[in-house]
């Protein structure tokens, strides 16, 4: 080492300065924060997807149930459309018994309550349609075509509304 270098002191760097350490800590902190936010966002997306999947399945359960039911009451075909007045409708022997009925807990494809789905509900609405113009609603029982609409909710929040047509089968 020359005398000149010895007089000036050691000019090589031996470590980090305090400012460099603070900047590195801030960068690492931002990275960790971003990872935590991404993880939380993924969890929220998974929860929403799970709710939508449950709602689709509950709508499908009602669809399968309505497609199995007779169009008219098998015992008294001239029975006026509509439920029997119990809430929720407990005895369902034809499609129109499901008119304006809400089930909570929801029902499966056989009309049985799904007891482990508390907080979920299925609101079923029926409207008779003109076969020549499906967007035209006719009076209850005046057609052989019914539009079934199901609104599935979880804890009072609407998750899914879906619908389909059911026609009288011979």
SS (H, E, C) 117-170: CCCEEEEEEEEEEECCEEEEECCCCCCCEEEEEEEEEECCEEEEEEEEEEECCC
Residue 106: band (very low, low, confident or very high) from pLDDT cuts 50, 70, 90 = very high
Single pTM value for the model: 0.73
Per-residue model confidence as pLDDT tens digits over 8-38: 555 556 677 888 888 989 999 998 988 888 8
- What is the average pLDDT score of the chain? 86
CA distance 17 to 155: 56
- Domains of the chain, by residue range, sit at 41-167
pLDDT for residue 56: 96
Residue 155: band (very low, low, confident or very high) from pLDDT cuts 50, 70, 90 = very high
CA distance 167 to 80: 17
CA distance 63 to 161: 12
């Amino acid at each position: 080492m020359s005398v000149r270098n010895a007089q000036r002191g050691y000019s090589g760097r031996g470590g980090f300065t305090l400012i460099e350490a603070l900047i590195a800590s801030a960068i690492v902190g931002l990275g960790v924060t971003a990872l935590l936010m991404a993880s939380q966002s993924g969890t929220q997306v998974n929860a929403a997807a799970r709710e939508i999947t449950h709602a689709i399945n509950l709508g499908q359960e009602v669809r399968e149930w309505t497609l199995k039911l007779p169009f008219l009451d098998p015992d008294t075909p001239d029975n006026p459309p509509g439920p029997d007045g119990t809430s929720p409708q407990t005895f369902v022997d034809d499609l129109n018994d499901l008119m304006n009925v809400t089930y909570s807990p929801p029902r499966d494809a056989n009309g049985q309550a799904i007891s482990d789905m508390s907080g979920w509900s299925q609101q079923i609405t029926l409207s008779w349609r003109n076969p020549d113009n499906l967007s035209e609603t006719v009076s209850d029982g005046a057609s052989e075509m019914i539009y079934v609409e199901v609104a599935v909710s979880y804890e009072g929040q609407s998750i899914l509304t879906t619908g389909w047509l059911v026609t009288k089968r011979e």
